[in-house]
Amino acid sequence: MTEHELKTLLSTVTPPDETARAAAHAHWAALAKPLGGLGLLETMVEDAAALTGTETPALTRRAVLVLCADNGVVAQGVSQTDASVTRAVLQNLAARRTSVCRMAAAAHCTVVPVDMGIAGAPVPGAVNCRIAPGTADFTLGPAMTRTQVVQAIAHGIELVRAQKRAPAGIQMLATGEMGIGNTTTSSAVASVLLNQPVQAMTGRGAGLSDAGLRRKLAAIERGIAVNHPDAADPLGVLAALGGFDIAGLCGVFLGGALENLPIVMDGFISGVAALCAVRLCPAAGKAVFASHASSEPAARLVLDALDKKPLITADLHLGEGTGAVASLPLWDMALAVYNGCYSFAEGGITPYTPQC
């Protein structure tokens, strides 16, 4: 896929179906309960109705895509572990032994580990979307070429399409990632796209010391100074400072918009990917659904930029898609009420009406 072909494809993204949204809102209002009593659980179902074009969205068949990649900036000491841990976690994802795997089993969600580009041989059991064996160190020049960014985005779009047309017919996707150093790449990309100071966008990731945090901040500042990314060019920002995982997740959100499939954000890193998607195609925001507010410092800023409200505030910052998967039972409960609660008419109760 070329940049021109990507731009042409994204021009086909349609707006949400407001008729379906209004029908879903009316359905909630007819149920025998206080109007809007389930808060965000109601509006998210309405948003899903608008996205899918049906008053009664079916979202029981779901998977979590966990995109894994190595990041060259790790060479600058921005993490407490080296890049070999990315591979170790991907192997355990493939063996269904990680945190998100256990949570997904409880939430009736399939785990799909994806190799977007890690060092070493392919990992058996991981979907092979390898661009290269990790990105370059962005303190020395661009992390990727623009061609590689477009390739990663194309892989993300195709992952959505493959899940939708698979025998299981996936109806909803959660997003996850694993890549040592990817809070550094995410903070760098977010700092440029949101025009915020690096310090405001950067946290300790997986538990950096004070010295490690100083190295992380310095690496991001150096990467921005070396590459001169332009916030008006999201592909260029990704190429300069991003990772294969972020670019691939950007494609997942764009694929959700193209296929009218709900895509659930995890935390800060997938939020930055969603931000890239919306900057490339504003209409893609219809497919983005928030799950939680990560404890990473910039997570709330990204959610605000996307105009998305989290369902969960629990200081989560594990990654792998754990926050996105944690929100899935809330979808189940919301839809259980939406599809099964008795109405005012069925209960012989005078319907509530808005008083303000």
Catalytic residues: 320
Residue 7 CB neighbours (<10 A)? 13
- The CA radius of gyration of the chain, in Å to the nearest whole number, is 20
* Exposure letters 137-162 (e unless 16+ CB within 10 A, then b): bbbeebbbebebbbbbbbbbbebbee
Rounded Cα distance between 138 and 152, Å, is 17
Rounded Cα distance between 73 and 232, Å, is 24
Phi, psi of 103 (to 5 degrees): -70, -40
Structure-block tokens of residue 335: 């839809």
DSSP class of residue 292 equals B
Angle ∠(77,78,84) on CA atoms, nearest 5: 75
Rounded Cα distance between 337 and 327, Å, is 16
Beta-carbon contacts of 276 under 8 Å, excluding residues fewer than 6 positions away, are 189, 193, 234, 237, 238, 242, 246, 247, 250
Rounded Cα distance between 173 and 238, Å, is 23
CA atoms within 13 A on the CB side of 116: 38
Bridge partners, 46 (sequence order): none
| Neighbour-count burial of 233, counting CB atoms closer than 10 A to its CB (0-12 exposed, 13-18 middle, 19+ buried) | middle
